Amino acid sequence: MLAEVPLARASISDTLAGVIRVGLTGGIGAGKSTVAKTFIERGAYHVDADKIAREVVAPGTPGLAQLVEAFGQGILDADGALDRPALAAKAFVDDESRQKLNGITHPLIGARTQELTDAAPADAIILHDVPLLVEGHMAPFYHLVAVVHADADVRFDRLTTLRGMDADDARARIAAQATDEQRRAVADVWLDNTGTQEALAAQALAVWNDRLIPLRDNVAAGVAAALPTEVVDYDPTWAALGARVVNRVWALVGGNAGSVTHVGPTATEGTSAVPVIDIAVTSTADVSDALAAGGFPSVEPGVHVSADPGRAVRIAVTPTD
């Protein structure tokens, strides 16, 4: 299996106006295909990382030629196509070989991903289906990250029973991927797939209608979602949400930001508060357009609020010399 590649590190604001990017991920056997199918049937513009990874090293491509030059003719099968197990045996023996593989494939996959993203319609919900999104540290580059979850023993049973995968191979693949805790840390939406496909599809449909369509429309119109006003008991998930938002704001304005910090009552452990994640940004340049395109339209000079109805965020920007 080829190494996963992060997206090109352009900010979300570099995409077309009104477009939102959704990252879909989950462990092997978790059920991402059911969620992707639900979104695609309703008009999502699908960018499949696995498909792109295969395309850029297909027979006759410059990518395959570069791999052969780097790792030898032994990585080809009898038909001249890439023999992935043979490549893995050579490319994953040490860090140097792995870096050589990544140095060839990552730029090709990143360029093709950007090409497909740039071709999206102006009102698109772009669905990036990326199995190793967490491992590639890609979460901050999306307007929203959806994680499909199933317990490891459930996924193991699916892989061995439904896909016929060797048991040792299934265990190794599950163990090599991100943990549930790591996925939870980046998840804006957590879809539980311990039940039926129909139940998972119903969850996905609710996310499409209640989160993705309003988020897309609000970003396109430059409209913020309403913020809550009532004080509630302290929620330990506020810290994780604050960390996710800080990372996303850095991805949007990092080149101009001096600091990005979770502040206010929701940043204080044990404190009851209105459940709004307040973020303080100091910046050496005007970052309003970048924040707006990234899902945080301006509501007054220096203040931005999330366009996502499922994530209450307020950002105060202070210019610095």
Please give the annotated binding residues for ATP, written as ranges: 29-34
Nearest Cα to Cα of residue 273 among 260, 287, 284, 262: 262
What residue numbers does the annotated binding site cover?
29-34
Dihedral angle sign, alpha carbons of residues 67, 72, 75, 80: positive
Evaluate whether 283 touches 317 at the Cβ level (below 8 Å). Answer: yes
User: Taking each helix axis from N to C terminus, what angle separates 95-118 and 62-71, rounded to the nearest 10 degrees?
Assistant: 180
H-only helix segments in 177-304 = 180-186, 197-207, 213-221, 237-253, 288-293
The DSSP secondary-structure symbol of 211 reads: I
What span, in angstroms and rounded, lies between the C-alpha atoms of 82 and 70?
13
Per-residue buried b or exposed e for 19-52, using 16+ beta carbons within 10 Å of the residue's own CB? bbbbbbbbbbbbbbebbbebbeeeebbbbbbeeb
DSSP 149-180: E--HHHHHHIIIIIS---HHHHHHHHHHS--H
Check if the beta carbon of residue 87 is closer than 8 Å to that of residue 2.
Answer: yes
